[in-house]
Structure 1
C-alpha cells in the first residue's frame, strides 16, 4: 500500500501522487466510505491510474462516480473503459454529455483535420446530468456544482469549502482554456464565469492543467481584461461579438463619399 499524499483534506491529485504526468490533472476526492474522480484522462494512462488507486487502498467498488469537468478528449477519452472497469456511474453537464455520448470527434477536439490530429473518442453513456446548484455527496464531503461555460458550453467547476476545482477556466499564468468556434466557445460566457470565480471566497484554485495555486484576483482580472478585448477582434472569428473595424468600413462604403477619407 502506498502512502496517500493529500494536498488538502480529502483531496489527492493523482499526478502529484504518482510523481509523473498523466496529461491532465486528476483529482480523487476521498469521502471516507466512498470516493470519486474529477476527470479520468486518456486511454493510454487508464491502467496506470487504476493501479495507482488500488495501490492507495481505495476499493474500486467504492468509486461513487467519475465526473467529467467538460468534454475535451484529453479529459474523457478513457471514460467509457473506466466506467466499465470500475463499474461506476459517470456524470457531466448535459451539454458535455451530448458530445461525450455521441463521441463527437470535432467538439471534443479528438479530430483537428487542419493539423492532421486524429485520436479515438469512444462514446460513453453519461448516467448523471449535473446542473448549476447541484450538490454531489461523497461520504462526508459536499461538492457544489457550478456551471462555468465559456471554454466549452458544458464546462463545470466544483466548490468544496475554500477550494474551487476550476477546470479549464483559468491557470496560474492567467491563460485560459482554448477559445475555438468548433469547440463551442463563447467569450461573453467565459468572462462571466471568470468574474464569478474572481469574486468568490474560494482560497485555492485547482485547475485541470498546471499547478494548483492560491487565488489571486489580479491573475483572473488579467484574463478577463484580455478576453474583453477578444470580443472585438477578428482573430477570434465567430467567437467575437463584433468587429468594429469592419463596421467602420461598411459605414465608409455606405456613405458614398468619394474619394473616401483615409
Structure 2
C-alpha cells in the first residue's frame, strides 16, 4: 500500500499521488471510506487510476459517484468504463447530460474533422444533475457546487473550505480553457466566472490541468482583462461581441480616406 498524499484535507489528486501525469487532473474527494472522483480522463487510463485508488486503500465499492466537471472528451471519455468497473453513478450539470448520454463527438470535441482527429466517445447516462449552490456530500464532507460557464456551458467547480476544484477556468500560467463555439463557450460568461473566482475568499485553486496555485487578485485581473478583450477580436468569430475595426472601416469608406502614401491621383 502507498501512503496517501492529500493536497488538502479530504482531497487527493491522483496524478500527484502516483508521481506521474496520466492526463487531466483527477480529484478523489473522501471522508473516511466514502469517496467520489471529480473527472476520470481518457478511457485508456481508467485502470491506471483505479489501481492507484487500490494502492491507497480505498474500497472500490464505496465510490459514491463519478462527477464530470464538464463534457469535454479529455475529462469524461472514461466515464462509461469507470462506471461499469466501480458500479456507481455519474453526476454532472444538466447541460452535460445530452452529450454524455448520446456520446456526442462534436460537442465533446472527440471529433475535429479539419484536424483529422476522431476519438470514441462512449455514451453514459447521468443519474444525478447538479447546479449552482447544490451540495455534494461525501461522508461528513461537503462540496459546494459552482456553475462557472465560459469554457463550456456545463463547466462546474467545487468548493471545499479554502480550496476550489476549479475545472478548466484558469491555470497557473494564466491560460484558460479553450474557447470553442462547438462545446458551448461564451466569452462574457467566462469573464463573470473568472470574476467570481477572483472576488471569492477561496485561497487555493486546483485546476483540471496542471499544478495547484494561489488565488491572487492581480494575477486573476491580468487574465480577466485579456479575456474581456476577446469580445472585440475577430479571432473569436461569432463568440466576439463586436469588431471595432469594421466601424473604423465604415467611417473611412464614407470619408474616402486611405492611409497616407496609398492611392492614385488621376488627372
Instruction: Tell me, yes or no, whether TM beats 0.5.
Output: yes
Unaligned 5+ runs, structure 2: 260-267
The equivalent of 1:108 in structure 2 is 108
Tell me what 1:39 maps to.
39
**Aligned-pair CA distance for 1:190:** 0.1
| Equivalence map 1:160-171=2 (5 Å) | 160-171=160-171
CA apart distance, 1:261: 5.6
Show the counterpart of 1:152: 152
Q: Aligned-pair distance for 1:54? A: 1.3
Matched, 1:126 2:126: yes
2 CA distance for matches of 1:133 and 1:68?
16
Moved more, 140-149 or 176-185: 176-185
2:181 matched to which residue of 1?
181
CA distance in 2, matches of 1:94, 1:251: 45
- Between the aligned partners of 1:53 and 1:20, the Cα distance in structure 2 is 14
In the alignment, which residue of structure 2 is the partner of 1:219? 219
Aligned twin of 2:196: 196
> Matched residue pairs, number?
259
Hey, what does 1:246 align to over in structure 2?
246
Q: Is the 8 A contact 1:173 1:219 kept in 2?
A: no
Matches within 5 A, 1:56-75: 56-75=56-75
Gaps of 5+ in 1: none
Is the 1:68–1:92 contact (alpha carbons within 8 Å) kept by the matching residues of 2? yes
Deviations 1:155-175 (A, max 9, x none): 000010111010000111111
Corresponding residue number in structure 2 for 1:29: 29
| Contact 2:33 2:59 survives alignment (8 Å) | no
* Shift in Å, 1:197: 0.1
User: 1:96: Cα distance to partner?
Assistant: 1.5
Cα distance in 2 for residues equivalent to 1:261 and 1:55: 70
CA distance in 2, matches of 1:71, 1:21: 21
SS at match of 2:143: strand
State the 1:251 CA deviation: 4.8
Separation of aligned partners in 2, 1:220 and 1:112: 31
Once residues 179 and 252 of structure 2 are traced to their aligned partners in structure 1, the CA distance between those partners, rounded to angstroms, is 31
d(CA) in 1 for partners of 2:194, 2:7: 24
Residue of structure 2 in register with 1:140 after alignment: 140
What residue number does 2:79 align with? 79
- Deviation per CA, 1:164-201, whole angstroms, max 9, x where unpaired? 01000011111100011112110000000000000000
Does the Cα contact within 8 Å between 1:172 and 1:219 map onto a contact in 2?
no
> 2:264 maps to what in 1?
none
Does the 8 Å contact 1:153/1:186 carry over to 2?
A: yes
Q: Is the 8 A contact 1:10 1:31 kept in 2?
A: yes
Tell me, what secondary structure is at the counterpart of 2:226? Answer: helix
What is the Cα deviation at residue 152 of structure 1? 0.3
Which whole-Å CA distance do the structure 1 matches of 2:172 and 2:97 have between them?
Answer: 28
CA distance in 1, matches of 2:251, 2:111: 40
CA distance in 2, matches of 1:193, 1:186: 10
| 8 Å Cα contact 2:31-2:139 kept in structure 1 | yes
